[in-house]
Every structure is written in structure tokens, then in C-alpha cells.
Structure 1
Amino acid sequence: MTGGTWLDLLLRDAAAEDLLRHGADLARSSGTGTADRETASALRLRTLLHQRAGRAADLGALNDIAIRLAALTTPQALLPEIVDQARRLLGVDLAYLGLVEEGLLRLTAAAGALTPELTDLTVPLSRGLAGEVLAHTAPRWSADYRTDPRFRHDGPADAAASAEHMRGLLGVPLRLDGRVLGVLFAGDRRRRDFAEHEVTLLSALAAHAAPAVGTAREAAALTADNARLTRRCAELERVLRWDQRLTQVVLRGGGVEELLHEIRALARGEVGFVTSRPPPPRGPGGTVVPVVAGERTFGALVLTGSAAPDDPLLLERAAPALALALLAEGAVAEATRRTRDVLLLALLTTPSERPQDMRLAGLDASTPYAVLVADPASARPRIERLPWPAGTVMAEHGTRLVVVAPTTAPEQLQREWPQGRDAPTAGIAGPARGGRELARCFVEARGTLDALQTLDRHGQTATAAQLGLYRILLDHTGRQDLEARFRQLLGPVLAEEARRKVPLLDTLHAYLTHGGRARATADALAVHVNTLYQRLSTLDSVLGAGWRSPDRALELHVLLRLRSATPWPAGGDTP
């Protein structure tokens, strides 16, 4: 007989065989009925004690796990530890964990997996065993998940389960402050009915894991926020340094080129400034930042090459400073231009021989110049783009533009002038040296422009020498006066010409041009001299006998010469 009582054996944690032998000994001494009952009770008590001991051990292990999990503050370290502990705690082949992110359950960690199929797999919240756990916020298990019809199966999730040969599966929710953070799974590659204490054990582990996961998430978010804040602070410090350096350039009187030099020194990539409008499109790997002041676009800063990540921000900070510098530069240039305009016009309208007056107007007293007067002054941008000689100055005079260009050949300026009816009209005079001569040329150029406009020769140019007497005549005679005089003296000739269909006006012009010589006139008109006499007789009857007198003939000849220099029609109401 084994020594001791039932209590002794149980206290010594005797094996079941020892308990059975002790029962057999009792049966021989006191009868089988009592011995069998006591033996069964002892075996049940031993099993209960073993269960209690196992649960105590599990609780101890859970406490250790809770302490370990609390020490892990990053999701990268915490989540693998949770699934490792779940696998060991329940003795399963596989454990994995999924977190709810953006309306899906994303599997983030696995222990015991044979393939990478489970890692980063996303499952709809309403599918599979996970969907049941999330819907009821309670544990769910299946002895053979892949063939279990109770669940709405998901294709990718089932494919991953097949790859892992998964059958028995238990899932419990990770709950924190009334929210479900995710699901903790334990699985076996054989059919398995999970006992109640196993469900409770995994649920207890999930209860410890959920706060740790929440804390790790918050810590990760805080770390990310701190990193962003650090980057932003560093970015602000760089911006302040950039602003300080650019401001220093402006304060010490630096202009556009100095600013561009400073911007290029601060940037790692290559920085260029283009004035195309609209700004060029952004190229591959490049950055284009418009330089704008109000509604005015000056161009764009263009970044190319091996640029640093914050180079585009540098250009965005530099663009306003560059726009202000361009505005200031333009304002200075405009003020300088207006001052020079005043000095130049004063020199041309109030003659002076003082060299300093020439210099103040941007001219050299020893250089020959031509003076050009153009209309309208609004065409200045177009006129400025012409290939003027170095040292050319311009000034607006009312609605006209005055150009003084260094040259000894005014005809060259005429050849460079734009052509067409929409081109500006211009009169040219020169060359001349000194203030008084330039003032004289200005009067001649202005008179030439007046004559061209009177003759309706818009969009054309002429020099004072080319117009000759016409410039002097038309400078003091308006077009309407000329037309009225032409109608008065030569209107009857036009009417008779229209009636007879004979070129009487051309005949009169040729006769006066050849000094009244009949033979030369007939040859010029390519007609017989008798025909000429017939036409002259007609002119006598129309103009009267006195038209051949010197004074009368001169007036008629001048009117006809003016007619040849202007696009007046050959007949009709208007000459």
C-alpha cells in the first residue's frame, strides 16, 4: 500500500497511477465501493488542482506579458511581441493581429506564418471571422474556418488562410475606451475546438494588449507630430535666414542682379530668371515660380539640376523680393527716362550751345545726330525694339515721340522703319551737331511729319530733303484748304475730263512740267502734237485764257505736283 492519506498524496502532487494504486489498496482492506468513490474523488480533485495551477500560471504569465507590453512604446516593437505571446500562451501554430484603419482591417503582425501572405493584408470589416468579432465586439471561433459556412468569406483572406493551411481559428477583439482597435487571432493547422479557458485567456491577453496598442499609436502619432514640428521649425529657421540675407541685399541698395546672385548662392540647384509671358511650363524635375506684383507678371524663377528639397521653398520666398526689386528698378528707370525726356525736349525747343545741356540730355556735342518725330507716341514699345545705334535717346512730346539717333545718314533710319498702314508715321531730318542745329532739325522733322499726315501718307516715313518744298507748304497749309483750292481751280477740268473721257489733268501737268513746250509735252504723253493742241484748246475754254500766265501757271503746277504726291483720286468730288 502506498504510504500516506489521500491528502498527503494530493499535497505531494502524486501521479494518477499512484492514486489508483492507493485506491486498490483501500479496496482490499475496506471494500471496493468506498475505495472506488474515494479514488474518483481524488482523481477529480487532482485534475481540478492541476487546472487551477495552470490558470494561476497563465495569470502569472499574463502579468509578465502585461509588464513587458507596457515597456514597448512603438508599434514596430509592440505588435510582433503581442502575436508571439499569444502563440506561446495558447500553444497554437499561428497568431496574427489586425488593426482597423480607414474602414478596413489591416493585418500588421504575424507569428508562426509559413508565407508572407498575411502581412499587410486588408480585409473588409464585414467579412470573415473578423467581421463577426467586430460586429459583436465579442470572441468568435471556428474548429475549421475554411469550411465553416457561418462566415462571409473573403477571397484574399481565404487565399491567405489556404496558403497557411489554417483550420482552427479563434479571434478576440482589442477594445479600448468603448472602441474596437482591431482583432487578435490564434490559429491551428489542424481542426481544433477552442476551450472556454483558451477563449478567456486570449481575451485577457487582448485586454492587456489594447491599452498598449493605443498608447503606442498615440506615441507614434506624437513622435510623427514632433518630427513634423521639428522639420517645420528648421524650415522656418531657414526661411528666416533666407529672408534676412535677401533683405540685406535690398537694404544695401542691391538690384535685380544682386538678388539673383544671392538666390543662386542659397540654392543647390541651378536657378534662372526668364521674362517670357506666360511663364514657361514646369519641366521634368524642375520648378517654375512666377514673379508677380499685383496683376503684373515680370517672368518666373526656374529651378533645374540637382536641387535640394527646400529649393522650391527658397524660390517662393525669393519671388516677392525679386518682384519688388524689379518694380523699384522700373520706377527708377521711368523717373530717369522722364527726366531725360524733359531735358531733351528743352534742348530741342529752346536751342542751347552749352555742352553740359547736351550731356544732360544724353547727347554728345561732337557727334552728328538725326532727329525723327513719330506719331503716335503709344507706339514707343514697338519703336524701341528697332535696331537703333548706340547712344540713341527718345522722349515723348505730347502725342508724338521724338528720337535723336547718332548717324550721318538719316536715310538709313528710314530703311529700318517698319512698313504698313498700321506702322507709325515719321518725319526725319539731319544730320546736325550742337544744340541749335538739333533744334532746327527738330522743326524740320516735325514739319515733315505734318506734311505726311496732311497728304494722308500714314504709316510712311520721309526725310525733310525728300519732301522739299512740299514740307514748307504743307507745314502751313491744311489738307482741307488744299482740297478747297484744288476744287476751285481744277474742279472744272476734272468735270470736263470725266465728260470727254480725255486725260486733261495729266495733259495740263505735263505741259506745265515741260515749260509749255508742245513737242516735249506731246512726246511725254505719247500723242500727236495736233492732239495736244486740241486738248490745250479745251483747257483754254475750261480755265480761261489767262491760265498760262506765270503766276497762274505756277499755282496750277504746285497744286498738280501736290496731287502727284498724295493719293487723291483722279476724279469725283474730292481731289
Structure 2
Amino acid sequence: MSQKKDEAVAAVLALLDLLAGEGPASRFEAAVEEARRQGVTGADLRMVEQIKRLALGIQARLERRQQWSAALATLVDTASDLGSPHTVEDTLKIITRRARLLVGTDVSWVTLPAEGDDGFRLHSLDGHVTMLNARLRLPEGAGLAAAVLAHRAPLWTPDYLTDDSFRHAGELDQWISAEGLHAVLAVPLSRAAGTEGTLHVADRSVRHFSADETALVNMLAEIGGVALDRALHLDETRGEMSELRDRVWQAEAELAGARGLFAAQEALLDLALGGCDPQQLVEECRLRLDAPVLLCGAHGAVIAAAGDLSGRSREEFTRAAKEAGTPWDPSPSLLGDGIWAVPVLAGGHQLGALYVQAGPVLGDGTAELLRGAARAAAVLLSVEGGGGTVVEGQVRDELLADLLISVPRPRDLLERRARRLGIGLDQPHVVVIARFEGEAQPHAVTRASSCARRMNGLQTTHEGDIVLLLPGTDPGAAARTVHDELSSLPGRPPTVSGSGPVSDPGAVLHGYREAARCLDAMTALGAVGTSASTHDMGFVGLLLSDQVDAERFIQSTIGAVLDYDEQRLTELIRTLHAYFDTGGSPTYAAERLHVHPNTVARRLERIGDLIGSDWQRPERALEIQLALRMSRIRRVLREREEPAGDTARAQDA
């Protein structure tokens, strides 16, 4: 018996040695068989078999832990890999490749919502062997993905095509069959915005996925969802940065073009002011425009020409000029055969025209350069003709035109040019715009120019309107003066608006825009053929003005009543509040004020004496109510500041 005990102990030691050395499971059974051959029976043999089962169980648990540790290490590596910035497509490829390797399956893929369509599409397949998946679409509610999204939990099937627990999709089933797939596991691909997709792993054999495998794929999907969110944000950011970069490049190109255009115009004007020969000016124009140029006088006579102009081409130029007549529109006009014409104008006088053979399409920069060349030609022709007044008018027009462009000129340059004309741009000026129905008549431009010179102001035409910059602080009075001046001409009277005052070269453009809005509002209100300013239009002027002058509006509307109350300690303003708050009822107003109705009636009569008997008309009443509310708000704000000041003074005391 002692020998058999020794054999049993030897068998147990052999099993423990196999367990310690991580021997294969077949050798555990061999140790038991060896004990049987050595004669171990009964309770000793049963003990050896029990120890074998325990050792195999321990070894299985060790193997699972090793597999779990390896899987967790793979997850950590995956998280580290996904931590680096990737595109959306690269991120999806990493997720599907690691998912397939994590649980040892044959194929993996991701389903995401289809753009602009219901349902889902397959993305980033890994391990597939057919091309049937190209643009494969899953209809909404079909496939294992729909079941996963509905339950918000992982699901798997040992044999996809034979499982009727979910709705099948024909195209997907065909692809599953072509790939030879059976077992499929799907988990939600969670994102910050919510679960929007699924991660799938599939095997080409029937198998059951363990809880550990399901948990591993689910953890990978959670990590992948975070990485996918970041990749989407990175792609959006890259797109926005690319768009911003394109805008910066475009802005830089436009700025470079504007600077080049300004330099070219300055060079042409310097030539003209330097008293150059017309041929020299035309040659410079040809170089700047890179096209043949022809300068003609007021009656079509050729003054100078430059470029590849044969006799026939010159005849075509001249004939086109005579047929088109002398244009008044300062914008280049196409005469035909790629020939563009721009008038040479000086103070409302036609000195000729400049013709350029620049092709059927004229770019914005070329058009502006052509207008600048025409202005330089006007200066040169005026100097040669001894027309000092014409030259001054041209310079005045150019100065105001430069003040109205959106690309600002240097302030010191504008002020120097204005001082040469005896105009101080740091002094108050008002902007006046006159608009005729249709195009402004040439004699209206001449009359406006004369009016501007007489008042020591500036005049030009801008976007089809006559624009004047006149010294003064009352835009309404200036608008009426210009309206009266231009209304004496034949035809319908113009619509004239005014704004300001402005005391800075950079504010002239803002004043022009405010006057233009006022002009548009007058047209919309049916006040065509009249004159007004933003100050004359009541509360509408507050909406049109760039700088809302609430104090002026209050004073012009109810200032007389406020002054009367302050000087005589009356309650007219309080009566107005009560009157309007009770729907215009003197009786109810008296009840609110705790006075007799006759007292309210006498106060309302006094108000009429102060601000006009028509103050109860709807339009006047609306302005008065608005002024009352603004005055109340102003008083509340001032009362809120005064206690703080009183407290500070008290503390100082």
C-alpha cells in the first residue's frame, strides 16, 4: 500500500509540474493514465483525477487572463494610436483593423448614416475578398446594425443568414453570402452627439462570441467613437482653415491689385500734372493696360495713339467713336469688336474720349484703371487748353470720389489735397445726394458742380447719383438748398437727402451711406421729388443714422415740454405719460393722476401750445411716445448713477 501511495503522490507531483510549466492539456491526462498503470486505484485514483481537473481549470483561467491581458494591451495600443491626429477615413481603418485582430475574426467594418439619405452605408471594410460591398447601402431599420441601434447594446448571431430575429436586407445578405460569413457581432459606435453608427466583426465559420470578446469589441467601439468625433472636428477645422487661407490669399491678391491700381493711377496723374506730351501719356496707358489705346478730342479728332494700330484699326476706332457719340457715363462702355470707350470729362465738360481695344470682357481692375487714365487725360487736356477752372473742377471731383471709395486713401494725402483747394476736412461738413429719375442730366451735373464751388464744397457723380460735400452742420438746410438749385432745371425735380455733419475724411463714406439710406427711405415712403435729412425724418432718422442721437430726437420732439416743467415745476410730462398709458383718455388720465379732468384738459392745451396743436395726430403721437420712453430710460439711468456718486461724496466727507 505504501508503494501505491507513493505512485499517487508521484502522479500528483507530475500534474503540479505540468501546471507550473504550462504543459498541454493532453499531458495532464497522460499523467493520470500513468498512475493507473502503476496500480493506483480507489480513493487515490479519484484524488489524482480531481487534482487533474483542478489543474486544468487553473490552467484555463490562466490562459483566459493572459488572453484578456493581451487584449487589454492591444486596446491600449489602439487608444495610443488613435490619440494621434488622423483623418476620418484613417481613423475608421484603424478601428476596423484592430477590431478584427482583437477577437481573431475574418472581416470587420463600420456602418454610418448615409449623407442626405435614410439608412446606412458600409465604411472601411477590412479582410473582405469581394467587391460587392462598393457603395453598399442598408435601408433604415434593416440588418443587425438597426437592431443594435434600437437596443443601444451589443448583439451577435452565430449564423447571420439563418437568423430570423432581425430584419434582413437583400443587398447585405448577398454580400454576406458572397463573403462566406456566418457569425457576426455588432456593437454601438458611441459618439459625443449620440450613437450614430455600429462596429461589426464577422467570421467565416459558425461560432459563439464569448462575453469577454463582446466586452472587448464594445470597449474598442467606445474608444473609436471618441477618436472618430475628434477626427470629424479636425477635418472640419482643416476645411475651415483651408477656406480662411483661401480668403486671406484672395484678400492679399485684391489688396495687391488695389495697391497696383492706385500706383498706376498716381503715375498717370503725375504725368498729366507734370505737363507731359499726350503721346507720352497714351504710351504709358498702353503699357499699363497692355492693349492698344487711342485718345480723341471732343469732335472725334485723333490726338494720340499707341499700340499695334494699323490704318484700318485706327479707322475702326474713329468710326466707332463717331457712331457711338460722346459718352457721358464715366464707366467704360463696349462699342463692339472688343473696343471700350470712356469719356474724358472735366467739371461737366466733355473734352474727348479714350478708346482701348481690350477684348470683349473687361475686368474690374482694368475698368478702374481705364477710368483713372481718362481722368489723367482730362487733366492733361485741361492744362494744355488753359482751362484752370476745369482742372480745379476735375480735381474736386476726384477728391470726393476718393473719399467715397471703400479702400481708404492715406489721411494726410487727402487732407493735403483738400487744403490745396481751400477746404478743411477737419471742419464740419454735410453730405448731400441728389437723384433724378433715370440718369442725371449733364446740365444738372454742371449746376451741382457750380453750386459746390460757390459754397466751397466738393461734387462728383457716384453710382448714378450727384453727391456733394458742403461745409455746414445742418444737413436738412443743405439738402433744401441743393433741391431748390436743381429743381429750376427742366423736368421733374430731384429727390435730395442729407446727412451729417462729419468732421473727418474717413467719416465721409459713412455720411454718404447714411444719406443713401435716407434717400432710399424717402423713395419707399413716396417722398420722391422732395428733400429731407435723417434729422428731419423723426424716429425713422434714428433707424437710418449710423450714430443714433437720442438726445437730439428727445429735444426736437418734447424738449419744449421738458423745459417748461423744469422752469415752472409743472407736471406736463407726467400728464403726457398718463394720457398715453390710458389710451388717450383725459378722464382715465385724471383718475390715474388724482386730479380733476379739467386740470388734465388745461395741461393738454398747454402741451399743444408748446409743441404744436397737431401733436395728437397718429404720426406725431407715435414720435412723442417714443421720445417719452427714451426720456424715461435716460432719467432712470441717470438716477442709477447718482446714488453711487452721492455715496462716494458721503464717504469722502
Shorter-chain TM-score range: 0.3 to 0.5
Q: Is the radius of gyration larger for structure 1 or structure 2?
A: 1
Q: TM-score, normalised by structure 2?
A: 0.40
Q: TM-score, normalised by structure 1?
A: 0.45
